[in-house]
Chains A and B, each alone.
Chain A
């Protein structure tokens, strides 16, 4: 993005808001109908902060991050709302304008390090490509920077790696390379889309530490997209929980875990086996599966799977409302830990419907046990 425009609009003051997303929706036109993959998402991200986006597959978390970066193109993608980067609206930027943003201002680390690297291009070339384009440095200079980058992400013998191909490296090493590519031009926002899902648990910890360290050094903002609440709990300042394309809960990390309001967040946390549970503990599975985004249910998206569900939830869509704590929002009529929520849960337990939620989904087979 053009630096001059950004500077004039940078009147935000000390909070240094870097990214402001307002009511962003992304819809795909498909043969089967319109898929509302992201539906009215609003948040702001400050410099140096980490936002965690959590959800199951199909919740819209990946589409959201790609939509913000303008990576979804084509006439069958409809984007509405506003994405302001350093005060400048970037929705409506052409691919050519966006190419000045990609890499230099925002960049992304993808889930699968094998498919996000070009298998027939040497690693050195892949790293220096954006350096030479955005920073206009010559080849020797770019190579030096690439070596420094590889060293900073913990790759041994970086000089030698420049001439190697991705298949010569292990999964963890490849992910380090994609991180060094993403960091090459000093972006202000790093999107990390499930950066460790394809990696082993010991390597996952190394990569998350690396991202942490690089973020601190560069005072970079990060959006960490994951399905693992454990990963965001220890790494994010703020968390957005997505379900069926909508934000269902949004709060600073400590607030979210101290006083979660959304039954979905609670259910997600309860369904994960934990190391401190004795073995053979029965898990609280979430019955059913996520809603159909082509014809979403009339009421709350989560109603069909919710322990707290009441008749109202099936008819009326709950709005995103503010909780007592600052910055905490949720989308529920009968929130967890409130008298209404407790009453709803009690009513369902006594009616024997607390676990087997009403089957309002289109699916014809029984799901859930």
Chain B
């Protein structure tokens, strides 16, 4: 798995954000080596859709999110927002575009300036972009804080340390919504939070999505969380996409051996036995400095064959709206032959 291709992309006319053949590489000191963080990833998001991007640490999911935001711009590939190509924009033009793309980070407390008050933090985007009069700005800050479940009269004069992690994440959501963005990129927004608070924030994001008509890219390592919030899920491994499809399809009938293994590794509070069965991955994710040839997952894949080390699999449709980059997918309606096990 872990291959290239664009078969899973939809009509460019209909998409809000479209990235094709993204590549991000970082040099390793002056050794001449490179970290292949994102290698030929293509994805698209329809207006109002939530795309969940899931993978282990080191799979390149955060780097992909940042490449879409052009911080930093990808090494190669194209990103279009609403039909406009945004890679290669000059810094001033890019700055003009920034209000349309906002981001929420993993650690809510460290992403708020500890020395400033909540009212200033949330209102700052409006002041920078000179949106409305002071009174209008103030009213919008109040309304947005209210919408995310923070009492504005009590909160505006306080500083971030006076709030819990969950409340700080609500404040971050409010700040991201101030400029009415077209797309919100959430990078592990709940993984630093307690399970009870996590559910509050997931529900909040769902509410905000309905209320403000948001389009979201939701990056997380927790499959159950991603399934809960997403309309479409993309699974990443070592800088490549493995599988793309609707959450219900992917989780019920994963086609990629890696997706299967990820699902099988989750200990479940609902069943007593499932962690001791199924596919268990051995070893760890290989170094992105020297990724395996062919399919990048082959070193850990239970169904790997000779072919996998020579030819990189390309994204193709195995059942309606389920795409997989694998030579030997677990199921494949589009080829009548040997499925799961190579002939």
> What is A's interface to B at a CB cutoff of 8 Å?
56-57, 170-173, 200-206, 208-209, 227-231, 233-235, 253-254, 257, 267-269, 271-287, 289, 364-369
Contact = CB atoms under 8 A, between A and B. Distances in A.
A279 B232 CA distance: 10
Nearest to A172: B284
A289 B57 contact: no
A286 B199 contact: yes
A286 B196 CA distance: 5
Contacts of A280: 206, 228-229, 231
Q: Give the secondary structure class of A's interface.
A: loop
A367 B148 CA distance: 9
Contacts of B264: 205
Contact of B262 (A202, A206, A233): A202
Contacts of A366: 149-151
Nearest to A170: B284
Contacts of B261: 202
B163 A365 contact: yes
Interface residues of B, number: 59
B270 A274 contact: yes
Contacts of B151: 364-366
Given A56-B194, A272-B199, A279-B229, A364 B154 contact: yes
A283 B166 CA distance: 15
A290 to B, nearest CB: 8
A369 B204 contact: yes
Given A200-B221, A201-B265, A367-B167, 14 more contacts: A56-B196, A201-B266, A230-B266, A233-B267, A234-B267, A234-B274, A273-B228, A275-B263, A277-B227, A286-B199, A286-B200, A289-B196, A367-B166, A369-B203
A302 B206 CA distance: 26
A330 B194 CA distance: 22
Contact of B281 (A202, A228, A275, A284): A202
Contact of A289 (B164, B198, B225): B164
Give 9 nearest A-B pairs by CB, closest first: A285-B199, A286-B196, A271-B199, A283-B199, A205-B265, A273-B228, A230-B267, A279-B247, A285-B200
Contact of A272 (B203, B224, B272): B224
A366 B150 CA distance: 5
Interface in B219-278: 221-225, 227-231, 246-248, 251, 261-276
Given A364-B151, A369-B204, A279 B228 contact: yes
A214 to B, nearest CB: 16
Contact of B228 (A209, A228, A281): A281
